[in-house]
Structure 1
Amino acid sequence: MSDAVSDCTDARTAVTEAEVEALVRGICFKTGPPRSLGVEVEWLVHELRGPQLPVTPERLEAAYAALRATPLASALTVEPGGQLELSSPPAASLMECVRTVSADLDAVRAVLRERSLALVGVGHDPWHAPRRFLRQPRYDAMETCLDRTGPAGRAMMCASASVQVCLDAGYEEPGPLGHVRRWWLAHQLGAVLVAAFANSPLAGRTPTGWVSTRQLRWAQIGAGRAGAPALDADPRGAWARRVLDAPVMCVRRDGGPWEVPDGLTFREWTRSRTPRPPTSDDLDYHLTTLFPPVRPRGHLELRMIDAQPGDDGWIVPLAVVAALFDDPEAAETAYRAVKPLAERSLGLPAPHNPLWFDAARDGLADPELCEVARICFAAALDALPRLGATTEVTDAVAAYRDRHVVRGRCPADDLLDRLLGADRRPPHGKDLSS
């Protein structure tokens, strides 16, 4: 999806607090008919002969050099720990998005296979400790900043992978496809998506007690960096306040470290204008250092779904999300289904509330989350033909529903079964990592 924050004004001009609020309100929610869809798929890269075997930085760099020379429709980027990400261009339909990314992944896998490497779809590396691959000022500053809240930041940077679905913000006007409703739905349905697609129960080859350890790590880096704003009838105003009150990760310089006073918020930076006045370019950059579960970038970026197993596992969450947001009938069903879940949030923003913690810890073993997931998958399956989905896509969603959702399971349960045996799996929520 296109990056709407590039609409900012002259990057050399210092910005005031009021100008920042106006810029954020203007660029982060581009309303109109929902027409475009995108997906960002992240993968761990491991040895073809055994994913538990580490890959040297030299081999990763050689593989990525070959991939950069490979024609792709999607943007290829490398994450700090060496994870590979493909970001699709905006697609006019679900099937256009699926075809584009599938073709690109075929090309990527062929290049990696020639080098005895493979993609692995799992939300958190179950074998290896976090290890930095990229050495750039941005990631040096990010590591320094996140280290202040503990080791979770390094795990998030270097050991996690996800499926991120990008949707248009929706109509300005109220209704099932209106931007206020879609913003609210993304945060409430987000917990259901965490539970239904949880695929990261291990760290250091040991069960953590959470079916989505990846989501746990995001919560552990703190609300200032990874928290959502309060949900109200004015998403633009709420997000603008969130941006202003979020801590600045770094102040970029041409030379020397990108250091910043601990706890300096962007609001305080606009007022103090030290260590130098912030510019609109600094605001652009600041927006990329915030990692809420739903990030508005003109469109909505849903960031809560673990990477999925199998070559085509990523298609299922993409199809389900597209159906539940872009089909009016399915969107209304999903809205009504998740509405009772809001009480479990206790008025706290995601992911730092009981609903999201329950989803990340227990997955669909939580009876209420499981029932809502069943309703939403049924609505998605009804809607997918109306969105032009092929039989292969609807069959994949149906198979996932039957294998996991109907049975109150998620892919994390399959991983735990293989590790511990179906009869010996510990109850969700018991911390076995200590």
Structure 2
Amino acid sequence: MPQAPSAPPHAPDPAPSITETEAEHLIHGICFKTGPPRLIGAELEWLVVDAEHPGRTLPPERLRAAHAAARALPLNSRVTVEPGGQLELSSAPAASLTGCVDDLQDDLTAVRAALLDRGLALRGLGRDTRLPYRRLLNSPRYDAMEAYFDRTGPAGRAMMCASASVQVCVDAGHEEPGALGHGRRWRMAHLLGAVLVAAFANSPAREGPYAGWRCARQGIWSDLDSRRSLAPPLDAGPRAGWVRQALDTEVMCVRSYEGEPWDVPRGTTFRDWLRAGEGAVPRAPTAEDLDYHLTTLFPPVRPRGHMELRMIDAQPGDDGWLVPVAVVHALFDDPETAETAYRATKALADAYGSQPAPRNPLWHSAARYGLSDPELRTAAEACFRAAGEALPRFGASTHVRDTVGEFTERYVLRGRCPGDDPPHAPSTGQEALR
């Protein structure tokens, strides 16, 4: 007997929709995990370049081979790829600075060796200057993201395809106020942010819209759409402020079933979608849609249970990344050092008003002038000195302490940042920090 033709594939059963109140409770519950600060992590983004000719644009097949080689290694870290082919290593949460650093150093040694066998190298630079920008990854997510950002100009493509950073993750801290409380830590992360931008600026621009800036990467972030990359107002509590920020930001895309392009609505915030108001997309949002929406928000400090500091450029040299990881850890997780950092940055931030980062004039000055801004230099000197004194209390190795000390001497105490180095300064090896 002939078989009946097979039925067309069915869409999965729809997930239950959520209400506005349920969405607020979900974000409120997951944005900060409270408890004593004890874990640290880092996410290191790198440009992949030709080892002999780093200024050349790599063909896609060489980039894909590099990514496959890195993924095939038995690493402690998770390997991911950014849309332009940047390679990212994300450490596992570590109970100590030493554990975090040792695992990442081992992984970087293995990745560098695998890439060198293919004539490739990792380069720590906050912004890729090789043109044109080309998106290596093709997926519904990145197709929709590109379409969304293209509505407001070229900054979105530059962010996706040409930026690289060192992201440092610290615990949110206790619920109660005080040096280790998440309210104070949240505020300090934003107060400190401009100092970190200035000290670690490593994306100099010599032409184009950011000509003369030490941190063109920060300029790109500030030119994204009006809300997605902004910090919430700090006069609100951390949870309430982030809940409002998340729900009042436009929906970037609405996921569709496999094989179908994703919808890119225009002018619809997640709150609009929940209320099914004018301009909302046809179907109701689910908890999974909310989770996905949160991954499309790119503020300078992103709460993901812990706090993810996203404002630091990728750093030069084999070990340049050690410096922001160690300094941030010391500034947040040593009470005495945290108090020094809070005092040094609060007065500085108060003088520049309450406009959210990264559009606050202080952040603009940090990105444009780095530590040649005398006020930022003074704050950075206090923070780096305090961090250097705290590192022995964390059991930091001699190598970590020396690397931080060399950076402090070469850059911070001289009012300089890596973006002040000549264009052809060494980009790999410990000599880049000397």
Secondary structure, in 3 states, of the residue corresponding to 2:42? strand
Correspondence for 1:231 among 224, 229, 234: 234
Matched, 1:269 2:273: yes
Amino acid at match of 2:193: G
**CA-CA distance at 1:232 after TM superposition:** 2.5
With 61-70 and 50-59 compared, the bigger mean Cα shift is at 61-70
Correspondence for 1:343 among 350, 368, 372: 350
Q: Is the 8 A contact 2:135 2:161 kept in 1?
A: yes
Matches within 5 A, 1:4-19: 12-19=15-22
Q: Note closer, same or farther for the CA distance 1:376–1:126 as it changes in structure 2 (3 Å cut).
A: same
Amino acid at match of 1:385: P
Q: Note closer, same or farther for the CA distance 1:104–1:418 as it changes in structure 2 (3 Å cut).
A: closer
Supply the distance in 2 between the matched residues of 1:184 and 1:305 (Cα, whole angstroms): 17
Matched, 1:79 2:82: yes
Q: Note closer, same or farther for the CA distance 1:158–1:204 as it changes in structure 2 (3 Å cut).
A: farther
Supply the distance in 2 between the matched residues of 1:232 and 1:223 (Cα, whole angstroms): 19
**Where does structure 2 lack aligned partners over 5 or more consecutive residues?**
1-12, 427-434
Q: Note closer, same or farther for the CA distance 1:223–1:188 as it changes in structure 2 (3 Å cut).
A: farther
Q: Deviations over 1:88-124 (max 9, x none)?
A: 0000000100000000001110110010000000000
Matches within 5 A, 1:148-187: 148-187=151-190
Matched, 1:122 2:125: yes
With 144-153 and 81-90 compared, the bigger mean Cα shift is at 144-153
Amino acid at match of 2:247: L
**CA-CA distance at 1:256 after TM superposition:** 2.6
Q: Deviations over 1:38-88 (max 9, x none)?
A: 000000001010110111101111221222211111000000000000000
Amino acid at match of 1:328: P
Amino acid at match of 1:121: G
Supply the distance in 2 between the matched residues of 1:201 and 1:128 (Cα, whole angstroms): 15
Supply the distance in 1 between the matched residues of 2:60 and 2:27 (Cα, whole angstroms): 38
Matches within 5 A, 1:33-182: 33-182=36-185
Q: Which residue of 2 aligns with 1:259?
A: 263
Correspondence for 1:212 among 195, 215, 222: 215
Supply the distance in 1 between the matched residues of 2:267 and 2:351 (Cα, whole angstroms): 30
Q: Is the 8 A contact 1:294 1:303 kept in 2?
A: yes
**CA-CA distance at 1:129 after TM superposition:** 2.7
Amino acid at match of 2:368: R
Q: Which residue of 1 aligns with 2:3?
A: none
Q: Is the 8 A contact 2:206 2:212 kept in 1?
A: no
Q: Deviations over 1:137-160 (max 9, x none)?
A: 100101011111100110000000
Q: Is the 8 A contact 2:195 2:366 kept in 1?
A: yes
**CA-CA distance at 1:224 after TM superposition:** 1.5
**CA-CA distance at 1:177 after TM superposition:** 1.0
Matches within 5 A, 1:213-362: 213-254=216-257, 255-272=259-276, 274-362=281-369
Secondary structure, in 3 states, of the residue corresponding to 2:251? coil
Q: Name the Cα RMSD after superposition.
A: 1.7
**CA-CA distance at 1:344 after TM superposition:** 3.7
Q: Is the 8 A contact 1:81 1:132 kept in 2?
A: yes
Supply the distance in 2 between the matched residues of 1:342 and 1:16 (Cα, whole angstroms): 37
Supply the distance in 2 between the matched residues of 1:205 and 1:234 (Cα, whole angstroms): 39
**CA-CA distance at 1:206 after TM superposition:** 10
Q: Is the 8 A contact 1:180 1:233 kept in 2?
A: no
The TM-score, its normalising length taken from structure 1, stands at 0.92
Amino acid at match of 2:317: G
The TM-score, its normalising length taken from structure 2, stands at 0.92
**CA-CA distance at 1:126 after TM superposition:** 2.2
Amino acid at match of 2:409: D
Q: Note closer, same or farther for the CA distance 1:343–1:334 as it changes in structure 2 (3 Å cut).
A: same
Supply the distance in 1 between the matched residues of 2:27 and 2:41 (Cα, whole angstroms): 22
Correspondence for 1:364 among 362, 371, 378: 371
Secondary structure, in 3 states, of the residue corresponding to 1:225? coil
Q: Is the 8 A contact 1:201 1:415 kept in 2?
A: no
Correspondence for 2:388 among 378, 381, 385: 381
Correspondence for 1:193 among 187, 193, 196: 196
Supply the distance in 2 between the matched residues of 1:291 and 1:297 (Cα, whole angstroms): 12
Runs of 4 or more, structure 1, over 3 Å off, are 203-207, 415-419
Q: Is the 8 A contact 2:147 2:264 kept in 1?
A: no
Supply the distance in 1 between the matched residues of 2:425 and 2:305 (Cα, whole angstroms): 42
With 335-344 and 143-152 compared, the bigger mean Cα shift is at 335-344
Amino acid at match of 1:262: R
Q: Which residue of 1 aligns with 2:430?
A: none
Q: Note closer, same or farther for the CA distance 1:344–1:143 as it changes in structure 2 (3 Å cut).
A: farther
Secondary structure, in 3 states, of the residue corresponding to 2:127? coil
Amino acid at match of 2:261: P
Q: Report percent identity of matched pairs.
A: 63
